[in-house]
Every structure is written in structure tokens, then in C-alpha cells.
Structure 1
Amino acid sequence: MLTRATLPYQRYVNRVFWFLRVPQLLSTCVAFSLVADMGILRGDIGNWFMSFWCICFIVTLFIVIIELNDLQPCFPFYWYNFPVTFACYAALICLSASIICSVTYVQFLPYGPEWDRAVTATAFSCITSVLYAIEMAGMWNFYKLKEIPCYLHTVPSLLNVPETFVAGVIFAFLSNTSLYLHQPALVWCVAVYTICFISEAVTILLNLGKWEDRLPIPFPICQLVLTVFSVLLYNSALVLWPLYQFYEELGGLPQRSSDGSCVDGLMCAWDQRLAVAVLTAINLLVYVAELGYWAHWVSIETEDQPGDS
């Protein structure tokens, strides 16, 4: 019988994927060390990458320690769901770091030792993303083959991952508080991103812990209400953020050349404003897709109720 601590064929799974986690630790550590060694030349973007790789390293090391010492029973959720979910996020994080680093950072560095370090760090980040993707795909298929229930086997969970991931990237850009603190409408947009992110994070925790039945209302209806709420909030952000960031009459900067901080090729404040606008639109589309799923689910359940009674 499947419990929170154990998983059928767990030893087999650990043997199969053990050779992935050690390279994951090494790759993230090397990428982090190379960028850290660049000093002030790494800039804010380099600090972002370092934090991404550091998080992946720490969580992977945490998973390794827990599984080596058989400490899974200490956690109030089904442990076997956690590594595959994290591997999915880590693959996206490292892939994004590799793309952003090569597009907005490496190409603008002068040739020399710093350029070599940045290129090597990007290469190791790419390797890490591939390793995490292999782990995620392998464990996803293994669980499905053995008919082991997995959080990522459901459509909503596959949509929750990009929703929270995109929100996390938005927060990375919003670390530059000068983008929004001067305008209450933009502060509202930041509140929208925060509220929706917390809502999705709670949903993921409920799914990982199999606590959906503890809610006072059916989980699908709760999800439908939350998704409608998120779609409405993101619609407001999609209107307000570009309006106050790029409309000149409201204090925005319509062109990149209007931003005095964009004096070199590196990413500037205007680029961050544009990135947040694009990511807002992407996340809104994902929320709309989730809304369609839950609306269809609830409508089917509602139609089936008279026949069941």
C-alpha cells in the first residue's frame, strides 16, 4: 500500500536517477562559482542567475539528504511527488537562466576571462536544465507506467507549473522597485502578481499533500472560483502595467531610447518593464486555459449529478 513515506520500487527509482542528481549538484555549483568569481562585472543579472542556481543546488542537496537517510516519513505530504515537481521547476529555471544569460549578458561582455566564465556558466546551466528535464520526464513516465498517482499527471498541475514559474520570473524583474513604487496603479499590478502566486502556491501544496478534501467546498468549484478571480486580476494588470509604463501622458516611456539607463547593450529598466508586460500576457493566457478546463469539469459534474441521485 502506498504511504506518504514509501513508494513502490523506490529503490529502483533511486538507482535509476541517482546518476542524475550528482551531476545536477556539480553543474549548479560550477555555474554559481564561475559567475561569483566575476565580481562586480556580473551585475544585477549575474546576481539573479546565482540565486537561481543556488536555489536549485540547495533543494537538490536537500532531496539527496532526505532520500539517503530515509527521512521521508518526517514530512506531512506524499514525498514521491516532491522530487518530480521540483525537477520540473528546476528544468525551467535553469533553461531560462541559460537563455537570458546568453541573450542579455554574455554577448555584451568584452572578450576575456570574464566572457569565458560567463559562457562556461551558461553551458553548465544548459547541461543542468537537461539533467533536470531527463529526471522529470523519466520519473513522470515511470510513475505512469506503474500506475502510481503523480501530481504532474493532471492537466491543472501542468498549468500550475508555468503559472507559478512565470510569476517567479516577474518577481525577479520586479526586484527593481523603481519600476513601480512611483505609481499606485503599478503597485496594484504587483499586488495582483503576489495574490495570484500565493493562490497557486497554496493549490500546489494542497495537491502535493492530498488535502483537497479538507476544503469546505468541492475542490473543482474552489479552483474555478480562484481561476476566475485570477483571470480578472491579470486582466487589470495587463491593462494598467503597459498603460502606465509606456503611455507618455501617464508618465511612461514609449521607446527604449527614452530611458536614460539604456546607454549600453545590457538589460535596462525599460527592458524589464517590457518583459513584465509580455510575461503578464503569457500568464493570462495560461490562466484562461485553466479556467476553460475547470469550467468544463464543473459543468460535466453538474450534469452528472441528476443521473446519480
Structure 2
Amino acid sequence: MTTTGNQFTSLRNSDVGVWTGRGCCLRLLQVLSTCIAFSLVASMGTWRGDIGNFSLFIWCFCFAMTLIIIIVEWFGLQRRFPFFWYNVPITFACYFALLCLSASITYTTTFVQFLPLSPNRDRAIAAITFSCIACVLYGMEVAWIWDWYELGSNPCYVHTIPGLLKVLETLVACVIFAFISNTNLYLHQPALVWCVVVYSICFIQAAVAILLKLFKLKYTLPIPFPIFQVGLTLLSVIFYSSAMVLWPLYQFDEKLGGQAQRSSDGSCRDDLTYYVCAWDQRLAVAILTAINLLAYMADLVYWARQVFVKD
């Protein structure tokens, strides 16, 4: 293998065949687990609720993308993308591990526990089990790729601190989008609409940063990539700081039309519901906003040190 043409295979050359076999087995098990999970939930009918639909989307997406990765590597198509493919499998594996974990937790706590004893409850529990298995399998793939890549000469992006932070930022934003799919939470108040705009803009910025790294396009920028990152991340911190103030203020302050107590929300009074009530959605978005603000602040500190602190 040449150093330039096949940098994406920064696995130790003598062990590529072993890794290929292990990787193929892992991904086949991942495809099987996610396929069984979404098939079980789909068989429950259309009344599975918002959380059921959200979890169903996660398992379908993980299944489809893992199958595409298998096809690409099975037919050797990754050789057409020698400068960025080595980042793709582990990046998706990181996302899928976290997505399957979040689906397992939310589906259990907001849906399954309210189901009466029935075949549908058994299907839901089985779906959670296979979702957890898929999470473990994706985690194993991340750990094994981490060990097999020679990180010194050609590190994967998600092996770095900013890469992991970008994965966290975009994933948390996706979960926020799932909760704010209920437009009744914010359309009545311009300040809350601004918060939704903030989540969208910052998600796009983080996704652009990831794509620039994955596709080796950072050198096409007119300014150095660290300075570019400082600017984008600082903007995200400012935007998220405004959302951190406005979202709780207008959602929970009664003087501004919010609801301070969960009991005041009529949609939360019935325990036997198959969806997250509006007040819980508001609280979840507030918590996730705080998490992402901390992630962006840590990201800003990292890039500021790269730009302004000289060793």
C-alpha cells in the first residue's frame, strides 16, 4: 500500500484482513439488531406515539447507513475516497452508539412503562433489548477501530477532542429538534422562535465543521481552520447563551405566559399517555440547551488555546 493513495487504511497492513473480518461480523450484527428493533416497533401499529416514531426513525436510519457502509466496503468502493473514508465508519459508529442509547432510554422511560401487560408490551421490551445490543455493538466498533488505527500519523477526526465535541453538539441538537417538533411550544412567542433559529443555525455550523474535516476541505478556506473554528464556535456560544436565557424565561415564567408548575399543564395530568407531555418537552429542551452550551464553551476554549496560546 502506498502512503498517499491509501492513507484511509491507516490500520496496520498485516492486520487489515483480520480487521475486515471482525468489522464485517460486527456490522452484520448491527444491521440485524436494528432491523429487529424497528420491525418489532413497526408491528405495534400507528398508535405507538411520538417517542415510538422517533425511536423507529433512529433504528431505521442506523440500519440503512450501516448497510450502506457494508456495501461500500464489501465492493471496495472506499478506494474511490482515499482521503476521507477512514473517518466515515468510526464517525457513524459514534453517532449510532449514542443514538441507540438515547432511543433505548427515552423509549423505556416515556413509553414502555405506561403500556399494560400485552403482546405489544413484550414487543416493546424486546425492541429495547435489541436497541441496547446495537448500542453495545456500535461501541465495540468504536473501541476496536480506535485501537487498530495508527493515530500518530493519520488520526481520525472523532479521536480528537474537537471531533468528540462536535459529535456531542450535533447529536444533542438532533434530540432538541425531536422535542421541538411540537410547534405549539414556540410559535406563539417570537423569543421562542428565535431559540429554534439558534438551534438550527448552530447545528448547521457544527455540521459544516465536521464535513470540512471529513472531506479534507479545511484547506480550501480563505483563513486558517482554527481561526474559522474560533469564529463559528464563539458565535454558537453567544447564540446558545441567548437561548439559555429566553427559553426557560418564556416557558416557565407565568408573567410571560409560561407554566411554572408541571401540574398546570393539562397534557401532563394523565399518566397513561404514550407521548412526552408539553411541560416535559419544555424542560427537556431547557436541559439540552444547557448541555450544548457547555459543549460549545469547551469547544471554544480548545480552539482559543490553539489560536492564542503558543507552546
Shorter-chain TM range is over 0.9
Counterpart amino acid of residue 84 in structure 1: I
Aligned to 2:45: 39
Q: Give TM-score scaled by structure 1 length.
A: 0.93
SS at match of 2:76: coil
Counterpart amino acid of residue 163 in structure 1: E
Counterpart amino acid of residue 279 in structure 1: L
How much has 1:90 moved relative to structure 2? Answer: 0.1
Whether contact under 8 Å (1:4, 1:79) holds in the other structure is: no
Please show how residues 56-205 of structure 1 align to structure 2 within 5 Å.
56-75=62-81, 77-144=83-150, 147-205=153-211
Aligned to 1:206: 212
Whether contact under 8 Å (1:231, 1:287) holds in the other structure is: yes
Q: Tell me, in whole angstroms, the C-alpha distance in 2 between the residues paired with 1:245 and 1:11.
A: 55
Counterpart amino acid of residue 3 in structure 1: G
Q: Tell me, in whole angstroms, the C-alpha distance in 2 between the residues paired with 1:217 and 1:146.
A: 26
Describe the superposition over 1:64-104 as per-residue Cα deviations: whole angstroms up to 9, x where unpaired: 11111111244485111100000000000000001111111
Describe the superposition over 1:272-300 as per-residue Cα deviations: whole angstroms up to 9, x where unpaired: 11100000000000111111111111112
Residue number among 212, 233, 246 corresponding to 1:240 in the alignment: 246
How much has 1:11 moved relative to structure 2? Answer: 3.6
Q: Tell me, in whole angstroms, the C-alpha distance in 1 between the residues paired with 2:51 and 2:38.
A: 13
2:237 paired with 1:231: yes
Counterpart amino acid of residue 296 in structure 1: R
Q: Tell me, in whole angstroms, the C-alpha distance in 2 between the residues paired with 1:49 and 1:217.
A: 40
How much has 1:133 moved relative to structure 2? Answer: 0.4
2:274 paired with 1:272: no
Aligned to 1:257: 263
Aligned to 2:302: 293
Counterpart amino acid of residue 205 in structure 1: L
SS at match of 2:309: helix
Q: Tell me, in whole angstroms, the C-alpha distance in 1 between the residues paired with 2:247 and 2:182.
A: 15
Whether contact under 8 Å (2:251, 2:259) holds in the other structure is: yes
SS at match of 2:266: coil
SS at match of 2:267: coil
Whether contact under 8 Å (2:95, 2:167) holds in the other structure is: yes
Counterpart amino acid of residue 90 in structure 2: V
* Cα distance, 1:148–1:294 mapped onto 2, change above 3 Å: closer
How much has 1:149 moved relative to structure 2? Answer: 2.2
Q: Tell me, in whole angstroms, the C-alpha distance in 1 between the residues paired with 2:44 and 2:269.
A: 22
Q: Tell me, in whole angstroms, the C-alpha distance in 2 between the residues paired with 1:37 and 1:147.
A: 48
C-alpha RMSD of the superposition: 1.6
SS at match of 2:302: helix
Q: Give TM-score scaled by structure 2 length.
A: 0.93
How much has 1:12 moved relative to structure 2? Answer: 3.4
Q: Tell me, in whole angstroms, the C-alpha distance in 1 between the residues paired with 2:73 and 2:145.
A: 15
* Cα distance, 1:141–1:188 mapped onto 2, change above 3 Å: same
Whether contact under 8 Å (1:3, 1:78) holds in the other structure is: no
Describe the superposition over 1:153-203 as per-residue Cα deviations: whole angstroms up to 9, x where unpaired: 221101111011000100111111111111111110000000000000000
Q: Which runs of 5+ in 2 are unaligned?
A: none
Greater alpha carbon shift after TM alignment, 65-74 vs 236-245 = 65-74
Aligned to 1:307: none
The alignment-based identity, stated in percent, is 60
Aligned to 2:18: 12
Counterpart amino acid of residue 51 in structure 1: F
Q: Tell me, in whole angstroms, the C-alpha distance in 1 between the residues paired with 2:4 and 2:264.
A: 60
